[in-house]
Structure 1
Amino acid sequence: MPTPATMNILITLLLFVLPVLFLLSWRRRGSSRKLPPGSLGIPMIGQSFGLLRAMRTNTVEEWLGERVRKYGPISKLTLFGKPTVFIPGQAANKLVFCGDSSKIASKQSSSTCAILGDCNLMELTGQDHKRVRDSIVSFLRPESLKQYVGKMDEEVRKHIELHWQGKERVAALPLMKNLTFNIICSLLFGMEERAEREKFSQSFEIMMEGMLSIPVNLPFTRYNRSLHASSRIQALLKEVVQGKKAKLEQRTATPHQDLITCLLSKRTEENERVMTDKEILHNIMVIMVAGYDISSALITFMLRLLSKNPAVYKAVLQEQEEIAKSKTSGEPLTWEDLAKMKYTWSVAMETLRMVPPVFGGFRVALKDIEYGGYVIPKGWQIFWASNMTGMDGSIFPEPSKFDPSRFENQKSVPPYSFVAFGGGPRICTGNEFARVETLVAIHILVTQYSWELRSDDHYIFDPMPVPTQGLLLWIVPKKEK
């Protein structure tokens, strides 16, 4: 019988030898499949800090471009705890958004999934994705949104009265976040009490900070703080959902008065709920993030780019003033008014091309995928970046020039080159809501105020684009000019 000392030596050898043998066999298996060029780097960490540093110094386009110059149109690396393949370009966008669903599936980073929940649309696949998506779209389709234009108009005017009137200088981004958050709470979740909204907003900013972080759950890390904030928000949302359930049972609520009530009301032919409470909760989280950060970033950067391009601003102002002249004092905007804002929406699209609120995202390979002469192994992340086509001079000539005319004819934009709202079956469910929200806000702002930049022109990604000092503006009410 081996002595205790011999047993300790054997255990130590096993602990050392087995991982080495596993690593060698994995490498032999990988070498036979011709993996993309590049280095995976340090396990779990890899190139995560490099990407985050590039985002926070607004050099992410250069960082990604250097990878393409060094390794070509496909390369491997490690991001946020997982082996990853980076693929840029139109072909990559087509694979990401319209690829074979048996081979590729939506899958966000580990940190995003943990914070938003594993039943959200970005994680669901197949019939589950279709079932949940159809339920959400039934509320967010244009036919349903028509009735909420007036309510959005009211929220924007209320916001301006509280935060813009009487001021000489404002920070645009924080105010736009405040505005879009209140619109979401009011129109989508039926929260009219400001105190109720405040409970959410206190934790929301903290939660957003850890959305794209290395998933190491240690005290004092962004990821840890974000997880705790997510738990607080989900607990508050559960109370809201329960309250709306009770109102439906008491017949004091109608199915289409807000998104949560609509989702709770959805039934199958067998009279069973279409979505579970967990699915409703996790997808509310996603919609809150999209409506809060993406729309606020779009409106903020439209204000920035309009201030830097006087001719474009003049054309937007002319379009909006024509609409304003057709209204009586205090009369809210209508769906028909929004249909006349074609040039303004072209400005929004060009803003999204130059400063995409979501700079990229992830998918997962469900099987080995052959791409560009290499194999993307099953289980690996696939990372795509929207600015790689948006700022490609061969697709959009003079890409650094702000030129809304690129989008006046949508058919002239090459397929899979503009993916600010995604594409195919994965196109953003809230894109129409974002359009309405943006056009209403811009109409009221340009017809009531003039503004000039009072901060420098820098911005970073954290993970959404954030201008220096929140984009300080010197503002002048039109009636005082």
Structure 2
Amino acid sequence: MESTLFATILICVFTTLILVIVKLRKNEYKPGKKLPLPPGSLGIPVIGQSLQLLWAMRSNTGEKWLEQRIRKYGPVSKLSLFGNPTVFIHGQAANKLVFSGDGSALASSQTKSVRMVLGAQNLLELRGDDHKRVRGAMVSFLKAESLKQYVGKMDKEVRLHIQTHWEGKHEVQVLPLMKVLTFDIICTILFGVERGSSRRAKLVQYFQDMIQGIWAVPINLPFTRYNRSISSSSKVDDIVKDLIAEKRAQLQRDAGAPRDLITSLVDMNNSQAISDAEIIDNIKLVMTAGHDTSSVVITLVICLLSNQPSVCAAVVKEQEDIAKSKSEGETLTWEDLGKMKYTWRVAQETMRMFPPIFGGFRNALKDIEFEGYLIPKGWQVFWATGLTHMDQTIFPEPERFDPTRFENTASVPPYCYIPFGGGARICPGYEFAKVEILVAIHYIVTHFTWKMCADNQFSRDPMPVPTKGLPIKIEPRNRNVSL
């Protein structure tokens, strides 16, 4: 049996290599006389520079690796990543190319594993009118005007989380707990799945297995992470299908039923209506994006505040002033969040120095001229978030943590600060993440002081995460402030 399994693996790997080589040769472009290809090399067939990039990300030197390319080739260069000929672009103009436009030149391009796990109709895969329609449906719920009514619910989730996982403890691991918190918020506010239900417990289990294989090698063999991920993704599909049916029946009984993201998507009018398959795939996308991004940002803020006493003191003062204005048990409001200006600048500066998204890929739908070079149709375009963030011509002394940089956001050139993307392609969950981050930070800093247990190393997997989960020792800050 073992020899049969080994032979099957070899056949799958060999077949994959052949297909990739064929794809590379099919996409090979011989430039004409007018526009040259960018400088650089496609490297070894199939492998290209993929392993170099992944190793640099794991050792948290991904930006340095790209900076070396820029010094050698300039802001535009060709390479091969994950089996595809690729053009790496960098700078304000590059970011504008990626995040602006009508989608006729560049389209989102995800790896096969992402596409297979999250579904082919998620927002990262849709193009043109379909992308606009689905994005518009999601933004209608996630925009600031709609989120005002959910601040109280999010407040209650955070307070219950603090009571359950922080109070009475002497040491906690921040990142795992923040992932628990963000998933609880997603379940309650976005999906309307309340605490204590068996469905919620199953959803947590299946989701954890699902995300394990998103960035795995897409060979669907038994007992692999990718196989478990595909299986769990199908189980998540079944749960969301049941939720859709229940929300639809509820709306038929009562058009004024409580709203969550699924209910809002089900109840779109005919001009914006999206299919059940689109709802399912985009719910999985929201689960994945919302779970990782916010939890990482909150963790990084806690880490940086421990090393910035004056910044931490300013955040604590701002948040305690808000806490003192509230009566016992009273939840935060949208107006309270508007007073957290300095705290949000701290979060912005954290994301400048440690953007949660390293970068991404687009696919050239046609030949594109950029900076005097040709990006051929069918090639990948690779962009990185942190390079303009750490450009001293844009942000003086970029290595220094300075939240005052964001006192006047108009002074930051467009398409230079892009932790959530930019322009028409800004993340639709940006405002939701902002509320989530501010409410969590409010309760942590007003109820606890903390110290690092040890020096924390970070790696990218693919987000910046503390390798030990950020263990901290905690003590109650103010016993007179109750949850």
User: By the TM > 0.5 criterion, same fold?
Assistant: yes
Match of 2:148 among 146, 149, 173: 146
Counterpart Cα distance in 2 of 1:346 and 1:24:
48
Q: Is the 8 A contact 1:360 1:384 kept in 2?
A: yes
Structure 1: runs of 5 or more not aligned: 1-18
The Cα of 1:434 is off from its aligned counterpart by 0.6
Counterpart Cα distance in 1 of 2:288 and 2:221:
24
Match of 2:251 among 235, 248, 252: 248
What is aligned with 1:36? 38
The Cα of 1:44 is off from its aligned counterpart by 3.5
Match of 1:107 among 106, 109, 128: 109
Identical residues among aligned pairs (%): 58
Match of 2:234 among 231, 234, 237: 231
From the superposition, tell whether residues 166 and 20 of structure 1 become closer, same or farther in structure 2 (CA, over 3 Å): closer
| Secondary structure of residue in 2 paired with 1:205 | helix
Counterpart Cα distance in 2 of 1:376 and 1:84:
9
| Secondary structure of residue in 2 paired with 1:64 | helix
Cα shift readout 1:154-185 (whole Å, capped 9, x = no counterpart): 00000011100110000000000000000000
Counterpart Cα distance in 2 of 1:54 and 1:219:
30
The Cα of 1:346 is off from its aligned counterpart by 0.3
1:437-476 alignment, distance < 5 Å: 437-476=436-475
Counterpart Cα distance in 1 of 2:285 and 2:28:
38
1:159-170 alignment, distance < 5 Å: 159-170=161-172
Counterpart Cα distance in 2 of 1:390 and 1:113:
29
The Cα of 1:234 is off from its aligned counterpart by 2.0
Match of 1:204 among 195, 202, 207: 207
Counterpart Cα distance in 1 of 2:84 and 2:26:
19
Cα shift readout 1:314-344 (whole Å, capped 9, x = no counterpart): 0001111111111111110001100000000
Counterpart Cα distance in 1 of 2:235 and 2:479:
45
Q: Is the 8 A contact 1:81 1:214 kept in 2?
A: no
Q: 430-439 or 64-73: which moved more?
A: 64-73
What is aligned with 1:54? 56
Structure 2: runs of 5 or more not aligned: 1-19
TM-score (structure 2 length as normaliser)? 0.90
Q: 441-450 or 187-196: which moved more?
A: 187-196
What is aligned with 2:419? 420
| Secondary structure of residue in 2 paired with 1:405 | helix
Cα shift readout 1:368-391 (whole Å, capped 9, x = no counterpart): 001122111101111110011111
Kindly provide the amino acid, as one letter, of the partner of residue 67 in structure 1: R
Kindly provide the amino acid, as one letter, of the partner of residue 250 in structure 2: K
From the superposition, tell whether residues 170 and 261 of structure 1 become closer, same or farther in structure 2 (CA, over 3 Å): same
Match status 1:363 vs 2:366 = no
Kindly provide the amino acid, as one letter, of the partner of residue 336 in structure 1: E
Counterpart Cα distance in 1 of 2:440 and 2:245:
32
What is aligned with 1:135? 137
Q: Is the 8 A contact 1:84 1:382 kept in 2?
A: yes
Q: Is the 8 A contact 1:80 1:110 kept in 2?
A: no
Counterpart Cα distance in 1 of 2:22 and 2:86:
23
What is aligned with 1:431? 430
Q: Is the 8 A contact 1:255 1:262 kept in 2?
A: no
From the superposition, tell whether residues 231 and 31 of structure 1 become closer, same or farther in structure 2 (CA, over 3 Å): farther
Kindly provide the amino acid, as one letter, of the partner of residue 237 in structure 1: V
What is aligned with 1:6? none
User: Between Structure 1 and Structure 2, whose CA radius of gyration is higher?
Assistant: 1
Counterpart Cα distance in 2 of 1:93 and 1:358:
14
Q: Is the 8 A contact 1:301 1:351 kept in 2?
A: yes
Counterpart Cα distance in 2 of 1:66 and 1:257:
49
| Secondary structure of residue in 2 paired with 1:383 | strand
What is aligned with 1:185? 187
Q: 291-300 or 131-140: which moved more?
A: 131-140
| Secondary structure of residue in 2 paired with 1:150 | helix
From the superposition, tell whether residues 393 and 48 of structure 1 become closer, same or farther in structure 2 (CA, over 3 Å): same
Q: 327-336 or 92-101: which moved more?
A: 92-101
Counterpart Cα distance in 2 of 1:115 and 1:21:
25
Cα shift readout 1:355-376 (whole Å, capped 9, x = no counterpart): 1111111111110001122111
Kindly provide the amino acid, as one letter, of the partner of residue 402 in structure 2: D
Match status 1:93 vs 2:92 = no
From the superposition, tell whether residues 26 and 192 of structure 1 become closer, same or farther in structure 2 (CA, over 3 Å): closer
| Secondary structure of residue in 1 paired with 2:120 | coil
Kindly provide the amino acid, as one letter, of the partner of residue 238 in structure 2: A
Counterpart Cα distance in 2 of 1:22 and 1:348:
42
Counterpart Cα distance in 1 of 2:347 and 2:158:
18
| Secondary structure of residue in 2 paired with 1:463 | coil
